[in-house]
C-alpha cells in the first residue's frame, strides 16, 4: 500500500484547525462534582462499613453454626470393597458394605444427603474442558472434533455417550439409609429428583429426540468406566434417564477445589420422618463402585440441614468479620493520627 503524501496548503487556502469543537463536552465545561473529603466523612465511612460487615458476619456465623450436620467417612470401613475395585478386571463384580451410626438428637426440618470426595482434583484444565456441550443438548454432532479425546470413541469407531473425562469419572456409589425402630428396620425414603439446578435440567441438558431413549442412543456406547448405558441410569423413573439424570447433571458441574461435596438425595418427609430424622440407630447400605485409593482419596456421606444462608460453611461469615474488623481498626488509626496532628497544629499556633 502506497503512502499518501501530504502537501502544505496552497497560498490563499485556510489551514485546517486542530482545535476541538467548541462544545461543552469537548471543551470540558460540563458541570462536575468533586467530593470534599473531610475527616468526618472519611471516619464515618470506615466506621459504618465496619459496623455493617461485623453485623452481617455475626449473623452468617451464627446461622452456619445452627446447621445440624453429621459426616461419616466410609473409605476405611469399606476397605474390602476398595481393594476389589482397585483391580479393573473386577469392574462387573458387585460389592456391598454397611456403616452403622447413631443420632443422639433429632434432626428436624429438611434433611439433605451429600457425598463428599477428598483429594479429587476436578480443576485440571484438560479435565474441565473434556466434554461436549452440543452432545449434552441432544444434538447429533461429530464428537471426534470435540475436546472429549481420549474418551470420545472406541477403537471400532463407536462414539461414547456421554463423552469426555468428566462424564467417564462420574461418581456411581449407591447409598441407601435404613432406620432401626422398635426391632424393625425401615428404609428411609429419599428423593432422587429435583436436586439439580432448574437451568441445568431444562436448558443445558436435553436428550436426543426419539420415541424412546434406547433408540435415541442407538449407535453409541457407554463410557469405559460406566456399568450401564446412559439411558438406564435410573431404571425406576424413565424421566430421570439419559442426559437429564439428576445425579449426572450434578456431577457435570465440576468443583474448583480438591475437597468437595455434591447433593445426592433429599429426605422425603412422610411418616415416620415427617418432622425430619428422629434420634436412633441408622445404617448406610453402600454399593461400592467408585475407587479412590489410587489417588489417596477419601469418601464421605453427609447428612445436613440448611438455613437461610445455605449449609454449614462459615467462610463467608468469617470473611465479613475480617473485613469489618479491618475497617473498624483503620477508622481508629485514622482517628488517632488526626487527633495527634491536631494537637501539634494547636501547639504551634499558640507558639
Q: Where are the domains of the chain?
A: 46-67+310-324, 71-306
pLDDT at residue 10 in the model: 63
pLDDT at residue 327 in the model: 96
List the chain pLDDT tens, one digit each, 351 residues.
455 555 565 666 666 777 888 888 888 888 888 888 888 899 999 999 999 999 999 999 999 988 999 999 999 999 899 888 888 777 778 899 999 999 999 999 999 999 999 999 999 999 999 999 999 999 988 888 889 989 999 999 899 999 999 999 999 999 999 999 888 899 999 999 999 999 999 999 999 998 888 899 998 999 999 989 999 999 888 899 999 999 999 999 999 999 999 999 999 999 899 999 999 999 999 999 999 988 899 999 999 999 888 888 889 999 999 999 999 999 999 999 988 888 776 755 665
pLDDT at residue 297 in the model: 93
pLDDT at residue 185 in the model: 92
User: ∠ at Cα 334 (333, 339), nearest 5°?
Assistant: 100
The 112-118 sheet, strands edge to edge:
69-73, 298-304, 112-118, 260-267, 190-191
Cβ distance 331 to 337 under 8 Å?
no
pTM equals: 0.81
The DSSP bridge partners found for residue 102 are: 281
pLDDT at residue 34 in the model: 81
The CA radius of gyration of the chain, in Å to the nearest whole number, is 32
The CA distance from 168 to 203, in Å, is 22
pLDDT at residue 7 in the model: 57
Amino acid at each position: 500500500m502506497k503512502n499518501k503524501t501530504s502537501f502544505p496548503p496552497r497560498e490563499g487556502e485556510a489551514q485546517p484547525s486542530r482545535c476541538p469543537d467548541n462544545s461543552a463536552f469537548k471543551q470540558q465545561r460540563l458541570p462536575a462534582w468533586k467530593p470534599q473529603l473531610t475527616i468526618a466523612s472519611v471516619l464515618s465511612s470506615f466506621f459504618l462499613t465496619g459496623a455493617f460487615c461485623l453485623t452481617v458476619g455475626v449473623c452468617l456465623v451464627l446461622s452456619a453454626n445452627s446447621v445440624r450436620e453429621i459426616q461419616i467417612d466410609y473409605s476405611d470401613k469399606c476397605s474390602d470393597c476398595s481393594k476389589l475395585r482397585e483391580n479393573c478386571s473386577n469392574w462387573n463384580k458387585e460389592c456391598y458394605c454397611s456403616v452403622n451410626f447413631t443420632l443422639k438428637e433429632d434432626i428436624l426440618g429438611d434433611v439433605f444427603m451429600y457425598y463428599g470426595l477428598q483429594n479429587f482434583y476436578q480443576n485440571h484444565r484438560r479435565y474441565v474442558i473434556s466434554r461436549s456441550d452440543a452432545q449434552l443438548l441432544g444434538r447429533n454432532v461429530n464428537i471426534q472434533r470435540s475436546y472429549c479425546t481420549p474418551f470420545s470413541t472406541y477403537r471400532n469407531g463407536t462414539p461414547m455417550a456421554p463423552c469426555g473425562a468428566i462424564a467417564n469419572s462420574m461418581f456411581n456409589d449407591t447409598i441407601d439409609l435404613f432406620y432401626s425402630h422398635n426391632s424393625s428396620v425401615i428404609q428411609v425414603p429419599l428423593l432422587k429428583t429435583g436436586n439439580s439446578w432448574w437451568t441445568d435440567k431444562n436448558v443445558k441438558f436435553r436428550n436426543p429426540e426419539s420415541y424412546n431413549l434406547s433408540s435415541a442412543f442407538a449407535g453409541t456406547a457407554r463410557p469405559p468406566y460406566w456399568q450401564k448405558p446412559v439411558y438406564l441410569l435410573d431404571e425406576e423413573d424413565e424421566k430421570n434417564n439419559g442426559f437429564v439424570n439428576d445425579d449426572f447433571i450434578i456431577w457435570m458441574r465440576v468443583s474448583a477445589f480438591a475437597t468437595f461435596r455434591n447433593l445426592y438425595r433429599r429426605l422425603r418427609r412422610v411418616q415416620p420422618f415427617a418432622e425430619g430424622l428422629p434420634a436412633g440407630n441408622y445404617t448406610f447400605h453402600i454399593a461400592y463402585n467408585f475407587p479412590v485409593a489410587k489417588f489417596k482419596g477419601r469418601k464421605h456421606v453427609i447428612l445436613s440441614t440448611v438455613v437461610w444462608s445455605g449449609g454449614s460453611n462459615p467462610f463467608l461469615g468469617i470473611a465479613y468479620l475480617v473485613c469489618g474488623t479491618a475497617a473498624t481498626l483503620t477508622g481508629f488509626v485514622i482517628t488517632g493520627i488526626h487527633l495527634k496532628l491536631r494537637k501539634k497544629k494547636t501547639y504551634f499556633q499558640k507558639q
